[in-house]
Structure 1
Amino acid sequence: MSRATIRRNVHFLDGENNEILGFWQNGSVLWSQIAEWMHITITLPSMQYTVFRCLESGNPENPATNHSSSINLSGNNNAVHPGYYVVLSANGEPLDIPITEERAIPRSVSYNLSNPDPRVAAFRQRVRERDECCVISGIRVPFQEYDGFEAAHIFPVAHLDLWRSGQWSQIIEDDFPDIGNSKIHSIQNGILLGGFAHPLFDKYKIAINPDDGYKITCFVPDGFGYDGRYMVQSNYPQHYQPLRGLLKYHFRMAVLCNMKARGPEYDWDEDIPPGMDPVAEISNSKEGKLRFELVMAERLNYLLD
């Protein structure tokens, strides 16, 4: 028997009593959403497995034999109750549940450079003028004072190579003249976020699902009331709105990052106290080398685009 070591209140087990998937339920996640999340994380066709609720109180010992009747996921708009569930074959037999090897692209919290080039300055100003509030919390910018509000890239600049290979520029409709050769600085790749929401979004702890009415899911215990809200959308023309495909891609990355048994794949502390050496702090962190490479890649890509 193996269990995830991260904090979560919904656990999905296999027939051998190993935790294979899970998440933190803040209240908004429905079974129909779990069907989508399992489609992302489980490589078996969905008709080959079924979910059952474990009937044992506490941590189950025999989930394959002590469970409820099957739970129909498709079109099921009931909320998922915290607890333990087992994934078996349709007739209730244990089976191997292969989990995808696809991983979320690593990203660090991105902040605009103190003296950004004109493309980045234009990106920031255009996102501010369009959104006028944190699109996650709905808190409006007071008297055009943007302290505590940040224009965030949906697709991180640090992964300019993946942006290009994914040919995202081909579906950007923004006609603003100065958005970079790759168009990664388009207003369609940006949203305005409050200072609390920005790091959570960048670290895949909150995400927006455009296929569910732009509903916000918080994948960690929600202390800010973000979970279950809907993204605030402006009345700007469609070709200046956040690109649906980019938000959907970010949401997929969030599911991959949080749903697997091992939990978040990249989760380092962004809080470097004043007076500390940032390079030393990054280098000594658990995934310091990767984080340092991301920070450097982001800064280099500002120059290369």
Structure 2
Amino acid sequence: MSRATVRRNVHFLNGENNEILGFWQNGSVSWSQIAEWMHIVIILPSTQYAFFRCLESGNPENPATNHGPSVNLSGNNNAVHPGYYVVLSANGEPLDIPITEERAIPRSVSYCLTNPDPRVSISISLQFYKVVILIVAGQQIAAFRQRVRERDDCCVVTGILAEGDYDAFEAAHIFPLAHLDLWRSGQWSQKIEDDFPDVGDSKIHSIQNGILLAEHAHTFFDKYKIAIDPDDNFKIISFVKDRFGFDGRYMIQSNYPQHYQPLRSLLKYHFRMAVLCNMKARGPEYDWDEDIPPGMDPVAEISNSEQGKLRFELVMAERLNHLVD
């Protein structure tokens, strides 16, 4: 018997009593949504497996034999009750449940848009690389930030109004700058309808790739702890215990023309990444501590952390991609 170490209150077990999937239910996730999520993580046609509620109290010992009837997923808008469920064949027999090896693309929390003056250069000393990279936030970033602010004027997740004071708000890229090569190879620019002239050759700085978020919401969005489901009326799902009231809200949308709205397919891509990142048995794939005390060297802290090399590369790629777009 194996269980995930990550905190969650819904557990999906296989016939051998090993946890294979799970998530934290804050109250808004229905069985019909779970059916869609399973299309992302399980490599089997949905007709070949079914979910059964475990009947044992507490941590099950015999889920394959001690369970209730199968749960009907199709069109089932009932909320998933916290607890243990076993995934078996449609007729209740133990079944190998292959889980996708696809991983969410890693993201680092972006701080590149908090500087109020885009003309200010930011020098980052890289101690162990013995180089200094000079990063200049250019006109594309300034235009992106300003346009997102004007369109939204509130955190689209919490609904908190900025009212012209953006100190605690950030214009966030839905598709991260650190993965500019993936943006290009995925031909996302061809889906952008934004006709603003200063979006860059790649169009990654289009307003359609941006949303305004309060600082804490931006952190959770970057870390895949929350995501917006465009297939469910842009409902916000929290994949962790919801301390801030994100879960079950709906994204605030402005009355701007459609070709200036956040691109639905980009939000759907981010949502897919959040499911991949959080649903598997091992839990979040990338959950880096962002609390770096004042006076500490942020580069040293990042490079010495778990998955530090990957995290460091992402931070650097994001900043360098300001120059190469």
Q: TM-score, normalised by structure 2?
A: 0.93
1:176 to 192, 196, 217: 196
Whether the 8 Å contact between 1:205 and 1:220 is mirrored in structure 2 is yes
CA drift of 1:112 comes to 2.2
Residue of structure 1 equivalent to 2:145: 124
Distance, in Å, in 2 between the alignment partners of 1:208 and 1:97 is 27
CA drift of 1:283 comes to 1.3
Query: 1:241 aligned to 2:261?
Result: yes
CA drift of 1:104 comes to 0.1
Question: Which one-letter code corresponds to 1:203 in the other structure?
Answer: K
Identity %: 83
Query: 1:287 aligned to 2:310?
Result: no
Note the residue ranges of structure 2 that are not aligned, 5 or more in a row.
Answer: 121-136
CA drift of 1:92 comes to 0.3
Whether the 8 Å contact between 1:200 and 1:206 is mirrored in structure 2 is yes
Residue of structure 1 equivalent to 2:229: 209
Matches within 5 A, 1:91-240: 91-112=91-112, 114=115, 115=120, 116-142=137-163, 144-240=164-260
Query: 1:276 aligned to 2:262?
Result: no
CA drift of 1:287 comes to 1.0
Distance, in Å, in 1 between the alignment partners of 2:29 and 2:19 is 19
Distance, in Å, in 2 between the alignment partners of 1:112 and 1:275 is 19
CA drift of 1:8 comes to 0.2
Whether the 8 Å contact between 2:229 and 2:267 is mirrored in structure 1 is yes
Distance, in Å, in 1 between the alignment partners of 2:75 and 2:111 is 39
Q: Secondary structure at the match of 1:258?
A: helix
Note the residue ranges of structure 1 that are not aligned, 5 or more in a row.
Answer: none
CA drift of 1:159 comes to 0.0
Question: Which one-letter code corresponds to 2:219 in the other structure?
Answer: P
RMSD, matched Cα: 0.6
Distance, in Å, in 1 between the alignment partners of 2:100 and 2:263 is 26
Whether the 8 Å contact between 1:112 and 1:120 is mirrored in structure 2 is no
Q: TM-score, normalised by structure 1?
A: 0.99
Distance, in Å, in 1 between the alignment partners of 2:74 and 2:172 is 34
Distance, in Å, in 1 between the alignment partners of 2:142 and 2:108 is 20
Q: Secondary structure at the match of 2:299?
A: helix
Runs of 4+ in 1 over 3 A off after TM superposition: none
Distance, in Å, in 2 between the alignment partners of 1:278 and 1:217 is 30
Residue of structure 2 equivalent to 1:59: 59
CA drift of 1:111 comes to 1.9
Q: Describe the superposition over 1:102-149 as per-residue Cα deviations: whole angstroms up to 9, x where unpaired.
A: 00000001122543200000000000000010000001113x011100
Question: Which one-letter code corresponds to 1:102 in the other structure?
Answer: E
Residue of structure 2 equivalent to 1:27: 27
